[in-house]
Structure 1
Amino acid sequence: MFFLLFLVFPFLELALLIKVGGVIGVLPTLLLLIVSAVLGSTLLRVAGLATALRAREKLARGEAPEREMLEGMLVALGGGLLILPGFISDVIGLLCLLPFTRRLILRRLLARIEEQAMRQRAFADDLQARNAPERPNVIEGEFERRDQ
């Protein structure tokens, strides 16, 4: 799946760049790409710093910053996609960097992670139940030995 994505994605980006360049011209297209790269690196710094500060506050309170870590990954992905030349990657990058869409993506991602974890726990419990040795029937009682 990822191989197909990496094979098709550059061609889609290139086709869109050619189409946009044909409509608005080469120079405005290049300026848009440069502006999106500068915007991406700026948003990456600002959003990344804000996420790091929230993670540090959680650590100071003794809590695990799992949500902030995932948010930081989305910010890094969004900034990287904005820095890459292309309009499709810019749209996806902006979705990862804007706070309200990032929270939506994060909610779905956390729900999917929880669902996967529950599936793995159920599978592990089922596997453990199958591999558990059968316990022999044990009848408890007392006995007395009488020799004749």
Structure 2
Amino acid sequence: MLLLYLFLLFTVGPLVELILLLYVGSKIGWLATVGIVILTGIIGAALARWQGVKAVMRVQRRIGRGQVPGDELFDGVLILVAGVLLVTPGILTDLTGFALLTPPLRNVIKGVLRRWARKNIEVRTTQTASQFWSSEPTPQYRDEIIDAEVVETRVVD
């Protein structure tokens, strides 16, 4: 099943993008189409960066409180995917990228991903303990400071 998804992603996806670009180019002109693709890439990258920085700050806040940043990590991954899609030339990728940058749609996708993860990912934990014994004495460190001067040298042939 994974092979089918990869096939669709890497063959049908670019083909649909090409058809859309040709269609839009025939309606509004090639220069305008290229301009739109470049402009959406620039705007999208800036938006993804801005939202990505905010997501990282939320993750750090949650970790600082001693909490697991689950939703924040999902947000970060989806924002990263949105950024990649937005800098990829194409109309469908731009629309998908901008959709992923909208928080309401991102929340829906997070819910779908969360349900999929609960269904398909199994969490197992294990504990181990070991002791390390050495017959070597523990190294002793000194607090003294040695004042030295660096002398540069070079080899002369």
Query: TM-score range, shorter-chain basis?
Result: 0.7 to 0.9
The count of corresponding residues between Structure 1 and Structure 2 is 120
- The match for 2:15 is 11
Which amino acid letter does the alignment assign opposite residue 33 of structure 2?
Answer: T
Task: Pick one of 98, 101, 110 that aligns with 1:94.
Answer: 98
Q: Do structure 1's residue 44 and structure 2's residue 52 form an aligned pair? A: no
User: When you count helix as a share of all residues, which structure comes out higher?
Assistant: 1
Q: Deviations over 1:29-71 (max 9, x none)?
A: 1111011101111111111011001000000000111221111
**Structure 2 unpaired stretches of 5+:** 125-157
Quote the Cα distance in structure 2 between the aligned partners of 1:105 and 1:4.
20
Which segments of structure 1 move beyond 3 Å, counting only runs of 4 or more? none
Q: Do structure 1's residue 72 and structure 2's residue 76 form an aligned pair? A: yes
- The match for 1:54 is 58
Q: TM-score, normalised by structure 2?
A: 0.72
Are the aligned partners of 1:40 and 1:80 in contact in 2 as well (CA < 8 Å)?
Answer: no
RMSD: 1.5
- The match for 2:36 is 32
**Structure 1 unpaired stretches of 5+:** 125-148
Q: Do structure 1's residue 112 and structure 2's residue 149 form an aligned pair? A: no
Shift of residue 3, structure 1, vs aligned partner = 2.4
- The match for 1:83 is 87
Tell me the SS of whatever aligns to 1:57. Answer: helix
Which amino acid letter does the alignment assign opposite residue 48 of structure 1?
Answer: G
